[in-house]
Amino acid sequence: MNSDLTVRPRRLRRTPALRAMLRETLLTPADFMYPLFVVPGAGLRRPIASLAGQFHLSPDQAAEEAARVYELGVKSVLLFGLPAAKDAVGSSGAAPDGPVQTALRAIKKAVPEIAAATDVCLCEYTDHGHCGLIVDGQVDNDATLPHLARQALSHAEAGADIVAPSDMMDGRVGAIRAALDQKGFSHIPVMAYTVKYAGAFYGPFREAAGSAPGFGDRRAYQMDPARRREAFIELAQDAAEGADMVMVKPAGPYLDIIREIRDRCDLPLAAYQVSGEYAMITAAAAAGLLDEKAAALETLTSIKRAGADVIITYFAPRAAEWLRGRD
């Protein structure tokens, strides 16, 4: 035995009780926000092939799912809509009887206490699949803003607790904030997708939401993964325009950005563990290459450790069960 060693960090790792006592990062079900994909109709619960364990839900089924996860301790959901019809300007996204709006009313009736957030974007509602209006073959930033504001307002009118613009148009937080305030919804917070990278991890989601662009890609408005400092420009802009919460997306490949945003900003910070991150873990687990529970909880802990207050994740209900000791 080497008696010269004075500092022995392993002393405090020796037993489960010691390790549990000294953890600085404690993951709880309340940290999670659960994404739900809502479709028109009733009684529908269709498995999503690209996202194992996830479903296309009619509004009534979305309400049942929201109630179920709330009982598990997951206190918030994030709604995405798949409309019956699409057009060039995504007009169905603001329809009072759209799937998101209908689901909001059902969810708030079934479980009023849950925080219901809504994705605000045009990609799911446009026939070309881009997040904004197309003018002369390009996504037109300023022409898109009134449509985003109209969609956000329709969500607030239907009962949304949070609206979350994900389009990455410049000025959309200010446009949405102004529209909400003018119509008496100054109490509704905006959770901005502030730092959204044009990465390789969105494929399963785009299949699930039917939102793949019909031509080109989104690199002209989503951020370049090789750029770090631009994130702080986006942060300053969204904060100045009235964002109540900010977000980094994806989460796992950008833990450094989450930490830097946390260190620079006191606004609540969300991070989205996106479809590709989820699919990698579930596929590897299905192939017997890793333990799904251990891998999921480790990645979720790393996101919280990096500084996220809210973790948007498809693992939310299962992670909540795991944390509560259920398998």
Pairing of strands 310-313, 32-38: parallel
DSSP string, 281-294: HHHHHHTTSS-HHH
Catalytic residue among 86, 108, 196, 304: 196
Per-residue pLDDT of 240-277, as tens digits, reads 999 999 999 999 999 999 999 999 999 999 999 999 99
Q: Which pLDDT score is estimated for 327?
A: 41
Q: What is the spatial distance between Cα 161 and Cα 123, in angstroms, rounded to a whole number?
A: 22
Catalytic residue among 108, 249, 293, 304: 249
Per-residue pLDDT of 44-98, as tens digits, reads 999 999 999 999 999 999 999 999 999 999 999 999 999 999 999 999 999 999 9
- H or E element in which residue 165 lies: strand 162-165
| Known active-site residue 75 | no
Indicate the DSSP class of residue 137.
Answer: T
289: left (phi over 0), alpha (psi -120 to 50) or beta: alpha
| Known active-site residue 249 | yes
Identify the residue whose tokens are 């057009």. Answer: 87
Structural tokens at position 53: 């364990």
Q: What is the spatial distance between Cα 285 and Cα 263, in angstroms, rounded to a whole number?
A: 34
Domains with residue ranges and CATH for the chain: 27-323 (3.20.20.70)
Q: Which pLDDT score is estimated for 1?
A: 61
pTM: 0.95
Q: What is the spatial distance between Cα 210 and Cα 178, in angstroms, rounded to a whole number?
A: 30
Pairing of strands 133-135, 138-140: antiparallel
Structural tokens at position 207: 């299949």
- H or E element in which residue 178 lies: helix 172-182
> Do residues 50 and 279 make contact, with C-beta atoms less than 8 angstroms apart?
yes
Per-residue pLDDT of 166-214, as tens digits, reads 999 999 999 999 999 999 999 999 999 999 999 999 988 878 767 788 8
Q: Give the closest residue to 44 by CA, choosing from 58, 59, 60, 54.
A: 58
